[in-house]
Amino acid sequence: MLNIQKTTMVSKEDIEQKWFVVDAEEMILGRLATTVASVLRGKHKATYTPHADTGDFVIVVNAEKIKLTGKKMTDKVYYHHSGYMGGLKATTPQKLLEKHPERIIEFAVRGMLPKTRLGDRLFTKLKVYAGPEHPHQAQCPKALAVID
């Protein structure tokens, strides 16, 4: 007889979620965002299941010190619409860094997650802070290595 191993799907009870912290100081936005999105999704685990939330929590600190390559700081444009006629709003990363530096990382990571209810649930596990302090010390987050 052949010893055939079956693929196992992880259930909610079997999922073990950890907390990771990433220091975004002097990091490139896209490389940081891909690593964070992968950890949120759970692709770094052997128990990865595409339809289940197997990912971990990620805390990003020092969002105000993120870097963008080339002329993206002035040439890249983020758009959103108010819903009213003529309500198209546009802003650059440079302006966004002055007002809400955490949103640049949130936009980049959100774009890399699935556009479904699962993606919405995964996005809630991302915590981004402009400065070096965060209120999640009780979860004992471990440092996450991001390849530059």
Residue-wise pLDDT tens digits, 41-78: 999 998 898 999 999 999 999 999 999 999 999 999 99
How far is CA 55 from its chain centroid?
11
Residue 4 pLDDT = 76
Look at the domain 17-67+99-143 and name its fold.
Ribosomal Protein L13p; Chain: A; (3.90.1180)
Question: Which residues of the chain have a pLDDT value below 70?
Answer: 1-2
Cβ–Cβ under 8 Å, residues 57 and 94: no
Residue 111 pLDDT = 97
pTM of the model: 0.90
Give me the residue label for tokens 């699935």: 114
Query: CA-CA distance, 96 to 89, in Å (whole number)?
Result: 13
**What are the boundaries of each domain within the chain?**
17-67+99-143
23 beta partners = 61
Query: CA-CA distance, 21 to 18, in Å (whole number)?
Result: 10
Residue 1 pLDDT = 62
Q: Where are the alpha helices (DSSP H) in 100-143?
A: 102-111, 117-123
